[in-house]
Amino acid sequence: MNRSSTLDEPADLKAEHGSPSWARGVARKIQFEVKKLDSDVSLVQSWIEVAAENEVWRILGYVSLDTFLVAEANVSQSIIDSIRNAQKGTTIAEARANPAAKHGEIGNGRVGVSKSTLPPGTNNKRILANLARDHHDELLDAIEAGEMSVNQAAIRAGYRKNLSHAEKCVAAFRKAENQAELLGQLRQIVEAAQ
C-alpha cells in the first residue's frame, strides 16, 4: 500500500504560481521568517499579504488564511496576530513579546470581546471571536438561530477536529486523574465480556 502525507509533498516557491507546492513554499517562507527573531516584522507581514492576496489557503483546502498559517506554517494564532498588529521597524522578538490582545478588539464587531479580557476556559467566546474575525457569518447566524452549537461551528470552520468515539475515549483517558484505576475498570469490563 502506498501512503503519502503532506510531508511528502514538496514546498517550493519556484513551483508554478498557485500550485500546492508553491502554496506550501509560501507557508515555509513565513515559518522560516518568523524564526528570525531579529528581523523586521514587515517582511513576514508582506509574505502574509502574498498568502492573503493569492488565497493560498484555498489551494490546500483550508477554510481561512489563519487556519492555513497555523497548520502549514506552524505559527500560533497569537504570534500571527502580534505580527499583524506590529508596526514597521518592530522586530519579530518584540512583536512576540507584545501579544496582539493588547492592541484591541477581535473580530468585526459582532463579538466584542478582547482575548486579554477572557478568563481561562472560555473557549466558546474565543471560538465566537475567531468566527467573527474570519467572517464566518453563516455559522454565526446558525449559532444565533439555535441550529448549530458552537462546537459544531468550530468543526465546520476547521478550528476543531471532529473526533471519533475512539479519539474521545483516548482524550478522556489522558485527562483522567487516576489512569491506573480506569485501566483496572476497563480490564474488568473486558474480562467479564469474554
- What is the phi/psi pair of residue 144, to 5°? -60, -35
Note whether residue 113 is domain-resident: yes
SS3 40: strand
Residues 111 and 96 in one domain: no
Identify the helix (H) or strand (E) that includes residue 141. helix 137-144
Residues 97 and 31 in one domain: yes
Residues 35 and 98 in one domain: yes
Note whether residue 7 is domain-resident: no
Note whether residue 144 is domain-resident: yes
Look at the chain and report how many structural domains it folds into.
3
| Terminal alpha carbon distance of the chain | 34
CA distance 30 to 48: 7
CA distance 132 to 138: 10
What is the span of the domain harbouring residue 41? Answer: 20-102
Question: 99 falls in which pLDDT band (50, 70, 90)?
Answer: low
Last residue of a domain, one of 86, 102, 118: 102
Instruction: Write down the residue that cell numbers 454565526 correspond to.
Output: 140
Question: 3 falls in which pLDDT band (50, 70, 90)?
Answer: very low
Q: Please give the angle made by the CA atoms of 171, 175 and 177, to the nearest 5 degrees.
A: 150
CA distance 77 to 35: 15
Residues 115 and 129 in one domain: yes
Residues 25 and 83 in one domain: yes
Residue-wise pLDDT tens digits, 9-43:
688 888 888 888 899 999 999 988 888 888 888 89
Note whether residue 13 is domain-resident: no
Residues 26 and 55 in one domain: yes
CA distance 2 to 89: 48
Residues 179 and 151 in one domain: no
Note whether residue 132 is domain-resident: yes
Residues 123 and 150 in one domain: yes
Grid cell, residue 168, equals 474521545
Residue-wise pLDDT tens digits, 135-186:
888 888 888 888 888 888 888 988 888 878 888 777 777 877 788 887 888 7
Instruction: Write down the residue that cell numbers 523586521 correspond to.
Output: 40
